[in-house]
Amino acid sequence: MTAPWPIQANLGGPVDPADHVGHGDQFAQVVRSVGGVGALVTGDRRMGKTSLLRKVEHVLSPEHVVLRISAETDDPELFGRRLVDVLRGHGVFTEELARWSVEVDVGYRGVRIRREGGVAGGEAPQGTDDLFRWAAERAAPAKLVVILDEIAVLAMAIERRQAGGAVEFLRSLRRPRQEAVNLAMVLAGSVGLHHAVVDTTPVNDLQRVRVGPLAAADAAFLARCLLLGENLAVSDDEAVVAAMAEAADAVPYFLHHIAHAAQLRGGRPLSPADVWAIRHAALVDPDDPWNLRHYRDRLRDYYGPDADLAAHVLDAVAVADTPLDLSQLGSRLGAVELDVRPSRSALLALVERLEADHYLARTGPADTFATRLVRDAWRAMRRL
Amino acid sequence: MRVRPFTPSREGAAALAARTVGRDDLLATLTRRLAGAARSGNRPHTLLVGPRGSGKTHLIEVLLHRLREEPGLVVAKVDEDAVGVASYADLLAELGRSVEVGRVAGDAASWEAALAASLGGRVLLAVIENLARVFDGMGTGGQRDLRSLVETSGQVVILASTPQLFSGIGSRNEPWFGSFAVEHLDPLTVDECAELLGLLAGAGLARPPRVAALHHLVGGWPRLWALVAAVATPADLDELVPVVEALVEQFVPSFQQRLWALAPNEARLVQALGVGPPAATVAELAAAAGLTERTAATALGRLADGGWVRGDKRAGADQRRTWYRLREPLLRLHLQYRGGSSLQEAVGYVRAWFDPALPLPAVAADREPELAVVALTERPRPA
């Protein structure tokens, strides 16, 4: 068994692949998917998706040609220029890119590369190709693995320029991975693709990998690493580690926050009670240091006219002792004043959206909050 | 020691380090964190939060001085007075000029390429002061571009500062939501202020009762105490009123500009908090400012977000009620002073409160609520 190593609290910046603890199953799923056409990695912000992708890049790079690029931009042209820079970083493309003046067009037709004016002169202009198909041909026989993080942001930017452009763009990404046997794509994002496109069939060939909280043992291991990294003395090693994992709901981001807050408080050794006090203080702090208030504030953006109903659904689930099925939820909503009472189908659709947006998690036919931490934060924010 | 309270970056980092008080733990944490970034793949972004005069620039200069021997870091700075950052490309240009990357075509991608080429495998430590203003100038699109650069390159770590938290990092829909380790700079304690005063002006100036009284009146932000060291003589500090008036005078233009920028309802509430009881509920403030409670509550929310006021609950009191007070004690004195009130009575009372050798002066009945705030602290006992 690996011994814990020191990891300093990192509250949001990129994480060293060597310091990514846990998510072993998800990592294996993504790596396996690369043997086919790839994966769609989803999960709420701060669950560790991006650092998982870095680890995937790190592990696959010796054997495959891996292009990893963040698509979190409203500017498709800038994305195209960055893509060329990333390509230039790989030897298999260097010579080709040096021969031509290259332009990359990113839009609803996909990611297109056009090569003109061969540097040696006298070479006929080349046509416009799909960039990923072109890159896969040059990478062969190696596999080309394209990792596009925060893909929904770029898709929404394309949609704003051209109605229906987002779904066309996603289709354009699908075509080359269906045609080129040595091309796989890993698409990822915290903003669900359902916010960019209604029709998600263009990504239904990708294996879905959901990144959520860590397994309990991994959370405990990360807690130990953070205690070492922050030089924190503890009253009782086992109890403090267990308290950290439980208080953070095994979410890496909150584990890092607990370690950071513990380091700031200084003084006597950290006890389990201190851990819970740190958690409670974060939930009621008006400065919202754990960034939990967004779970309430984003409802209007996400659900528009259904925002109030969504809030009532979450209220009901937050105060329930057990998971609620649709009938139970409907009867709880019966006591709430609503302009329009939702039909069963409408309520089901809303619950599914709340699951997709990481508020709720389904257990059999019933739902509960995805994490206890979000439930407790919801209770605190809504004064329930 | 030549002190520049408003421009610490011109003092020289070694001099600043020699007179740094009360920031040892934070400096140690930040040094370890950023040195770690230079030696690993971790890129922990940090945001220092503190009002004007809290020592953010000072702290950054000392921190960079400590990191100067770190071979894996390239430091690029956007100064606190940088103007004209209206786009992502402008930000990159500022960073690029800071590390002298040479002539670059104006677009963002060219600046990105030039910066990347200048790094040679090292990590770019981008120091951005007044991050809220820079983010506002770049817009959400520019912020996204910066984030995707950071994520794609893996070679950039950000050290930023801001007077207060802002929606660009606190709203989930914003690209930089939850991406910073936020470090709040606290005011210096009485003992730390005394230490700073001693370092800057000699031990003769730092008489404990007067330091405690002045700390109560003006707060513990380091810039104020650097100014005290610059303007006060031992006799002035003993009297206290001349020192307080000198500080208030120094900040008149700054407070005026900030107050003029407030919406009328917000300004009325700030005025009410300045000249009325030092802490008041929404209902009391609404009555004092001639507003409805709903309007006052909304405006107070904005003032709290803007760092003007702070809301507190009182132990044992109705927990639904919040008592608001001005965050900056000096602002209260400014409002009284500019409103024509003498500071003599309030300052004299506080001076006596913290000096058990002095008798407490009698106070007119209508001044009692204002001076009652002093009673929230325990009066020192005679030795």
Whole-angstrom distance, CA of residue B203 vs CA of residue B199: 8
Provide the percentage of residues in chain B whose pLDDT is more than 90. Answer: 48
A254 close to A289: Cβ distance less than 8 angstroms:
no
Alpha-carbon distances, residue B230 vs A45, B192, B197, B243 (angstroms)? 49, 17, 10, 10
Measured between beta carbons, which residues in chain A are less than 8 angstroms from residue B162? Answer: none
- Residue ending a domain, choose from B154, B184, B214: B184
Q: Are residues B178 and B79 in the same domain?
A: yes
A318 against A383, higher pLDDT: A318
Cis-peptide, bond into residue A141, ω within 30° of zero? yes
B3 inside domain: no
Q: Are residues B127 and B240 in the same domain?
A: no
Whole-angstrom distance, CA of residue B159 vs CA of residue A140: 42
Q: Give me the domain span that covers residue B269.
A: 190-378
Kindly report the CATH number assigned to the domain that includes residue B195: 1.10.10.10
Mean pLDDT, range B137-143, rounded to an integer: 92
**Chain B contacts in chain A segment 287-346 (CB below 8 A):** 287-289, 291, 293-295, 297-298, 301
- B363/A contact by beta carbon, under 8 A: no
Query: Each residue of A137-196: pLDDT tens digit?
Result: 999 999 999 999 989 888 888 988 888 888 888 999 999 999 999 999 999 986 667 766
On the question of pLDDT at A29 being above 90, the answer is yes
B326 inside domain: yes
- Substitution target from B33, B40, B131, B144 for chain A, most A beta carbons within 10 A: B144
B383 inside domain: no
- B102/A contact by beta carbon, under 8 A: no
Q: Are residues B38 and B100 in the same domain?
A: yes
Whole-angstrom distance, CA of residue B16 vs CA of residue B4: 10
Q: Are residues B256 and B283 in the same domain?
A: yes
Mean pLDDT, range B142-149, rounded to an integer: 92
B278 close to B370: Cβ distance less than 8 angstroms:
yes
- B1/A contact by beta carbon, under 8 A: no
Provide the percentage of residues in chain A whose pLDDT is more than 90. Answer: 48
Q: Are residues B108 and B204 in the same domain?
A: no
DSSP 8-class letter at A128: E
pLDDT band for B383, please (50, 70, 90 cuts).
low
Mean pLDDT, range A106-121, rounded to an integer: 74
Q: What is the pLDDT of residue A195?
A: 67
Measured between beta carbons, which residues in chain A are less than 8 angstroms from residue B32? Answer: 8
- Residue ending a domain, choose from B184, B207, B239: B184
Q: Are residues B342 and B202 in the same domain?
A: yes
- A161/B contact by beta carbon, under 8 A: no
Query: Each residue of A199-255: pLDDT tens digit?
Result: 778 889 999 999 989 999 999 999 999 999 999 999 999 999 999 999 999 999 999
Q: Are residues B179 and B194 in the same domain?
A: no
Q: Are residues B311 and B213 in the same domain?
A: yes
B167 close to B194: Cβ distance less than 8 angstroms:
no
On the question of pLDDT at A276 being above 80, the answer is yes
Q: Are residues B90 and B12 in the same domain?
A: yes
A3 against A12, higher pLDDT: A3
Q: Please judge whether A17 and B41 are an interchain contact, meaning their C-beta atoms are less than 8 angstroms apart.
A: yes
Q: What is the pLDDT of residue A183?
A: 95
> HSE-up of B161 (CA within 13 Å, CB side)?
21
Q: Please judge whether B179 and A18 are an interchain contact, meaning their C-beta atoms are less than 8 angstroms apart.
A: no
Q: Are residues B353 and B244 in the same domain?
A: yes
B1 inside domain: no
Mean pLDDT, range A3-12, rounded to an integer: 91
| Residue A300: closest C-alpha in chain B | B173
Q: What is the pLDDT of residue A124?
A: 58
B306 inside domain: yes
Q: What is the pLDDT of residue B79?
A: 80
In DSSP terms, A20 is beta-bridged to none
Alpha-carbon distances, residue A258 vs A128, A251, A263 (angstroms)? 52, 11, 8
Query: Each residue of A42-56: pLDDT tens digit?
Result: 888 778 898 999 999
Measured between beta carbons, which residues in chain B are less than 8 angstroms from residue A57? Answer: none
Q: Are residues B159 and B209 in the same domain?
A: no
Q: What 3-state DSSP class applies to A182?
A: coil
Q: Please judge whether B42 and A286 are an interchain contact, meaning their C-beta atoms are less than 8 angstroms apart.
A: no
Whole-angstrom distance, CA of residue B168 vs CA of residue B132: 7
Interface predicted TM-score of the whole assembly (ipTM), two decimals? 0.73
* Largest separation between any pair of C-alpha atoms in chain A: 79
Q: What is the pLDDT of residue A305?
A: 87
Per the structure block, which two tokens stand in for B213? 């009284």
Q: Total domain count for chain B?
A: 2
Q: Are residues B334 and B245 in the same domain?
A: yes
Q: What is the pLDDT of residue B1?
A: 61
B281 inside domain: yes
Per the structure block, which two tokens stand in for A248? 């953070």
- Residue ending a domain, choose from B184, B206, B224: B184
- A383/B contact by beta carbon, under 8 A: no
Query: Each residue of B69-80: pLDDT tens digit?
Result: 899 999 999 987
DSSP letter string over A55-96? Answer: HHHHHHTTTSEEEEEE---S-HHHHHHHHHHHHHTSHHHHHH
Q: Please judge whether A291 and B172 are an interchain contact, meaning their C-beta atoms are less than 8 angstroms apart.
A: yes
B2 inside domain: no
Mean pLDDT, range B7-35, rounded to an integer: 88
Kindly report the CATH number assigned to the domain that includes residue B13: 3.40.50.300
